[in-house]
């Protein structure tokens, strides 16, 4: 309210109250539960209708589970490249539509959790790729809602699962430092450490001071 009153001194504005829609996002506030939730159900339904895919079979992941890409699949000619690109693009887009149809009723909710301001997790894939480079993945939550995530190929060839998990945890720690710095510039600095979760006991042991 104070920021709104301050702005009115300099520009003409109209206070429409709490936002309910913004850039295709539906916004719900629950003051009792101290949460704010975001949804794109309406937008997803509109694009499914646009491409007549309302009844497409839903899936729970945006990418096919256990997909493995190999060098033998690389096209050898320009014609093969064009044909494969078109086929793969349509199959990928169709799978994304199936994922959207299966998750359109989910809401991204922030708040309502205890001691959950900034938490993260780091992980590495269980099966190495063809070139033996593992894949790191991490995600960070603020008050229970995702704010940062990525999946990337590790630059080094790990000699063990412990090493690949430790590298993934390192990537997560670097992201945590960046997020803490960003938050400190926007809000009050975070007091205390940021928890990063890992599912590998050996990697966790390596992170501890000895």
Closest C-alpha to 199, from 174, 147, 162: 162
Q: Considering 103, 127, 145, which residue would you say is the last residue of a domain?
A: 103
Flag residues of the chain having pLDDT under 70.
1-10, 68-75, 80-81, 83-86, 116, 126-130, 210
- Dump pLDDT digits (tens) for 102-129: 999 999 999 988 776 899 999 998 666 6
Asked if residue 109 is part of any domain, the answer here is no
Check residue 117 and give its pLDDT: 84
What is the C-alpha R_g of the chain? 22
The pLDDT > 70 percentage for the chain reads 84
In a shared domain, residues 132 and 190: yes
Check residue 137 and give its pLDDT: 94
Check residue 57 and give its pLDDT: 95
Q: Considering 103, 133, 167, which residue would you say is the last residue of a domain?
A: 103
Domain CATH code at residue 174: 3.10.20.370
- Cβ-based neighbour number of residue 138 at 10 Å: 25
In a shared domain, residues 154 and 178: yes
Q: Which domain holds residue 124?
A: 114-207
Look-up of token digits 């890992």: 198
The arrangement of strands across the sheet holding 135-142 comes to 145-153, 135-142, 119-124, 195-197
Is-above-0.75 flag for pTM?
yes
Check residue 19 and give its pLDDT: 86
Q: How many domains does the chain have?
A: 2
In a shared domain, residues 124 and 99: no
In a shared domain, residues 83 and 28: yes
Q: Considering 52, 80, 103, which residue would you say is the last residue of a domain?
A: 103
């Amino acid at each position: 309210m104070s920021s709104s009153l301050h702005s009115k001194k300099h520009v003409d504005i109209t206070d429409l109250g709490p936002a309910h829609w913004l850039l295709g996002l539906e916004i719900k506030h629950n003051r009792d539960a101290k949460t704010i939730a975001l949804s794109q159900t309406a937008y997803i339904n509109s694009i499914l209708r646009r491409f007549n895919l309302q009844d497409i079979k839903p899936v729970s992941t945006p990418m096919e589970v256990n997909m493995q890409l190999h060098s033998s699949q690389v096209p050898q000619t320009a014609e093969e490249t064009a044909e494969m690109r078109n086929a793969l693009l349509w199959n990928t887009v169709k799978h994304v539509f199936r994922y959207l149809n299966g998750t359109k009723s989910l809401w991204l909710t922030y708040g309502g959790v205890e001691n959950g301001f900034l938490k993260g997790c780091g992980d590495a894939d269980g099966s190495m790729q063809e070139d033996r480079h593992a894949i790191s993945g991490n995600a960070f939550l603020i008050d229970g809602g995702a704010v940062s995530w990525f999946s990337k190929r590790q630059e080094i060839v790990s000699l063990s699962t412990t090493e690949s998990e430790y590298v993934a945890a390192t990537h997560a720690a670097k992201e945590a430092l960046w997020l803490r710095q960003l938050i400190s510039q926007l809000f009050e600095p975070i007091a205390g450490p940021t928890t990063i979760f890992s599912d590998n006991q050996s990697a966790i042991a390596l992170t501890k001071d000895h």
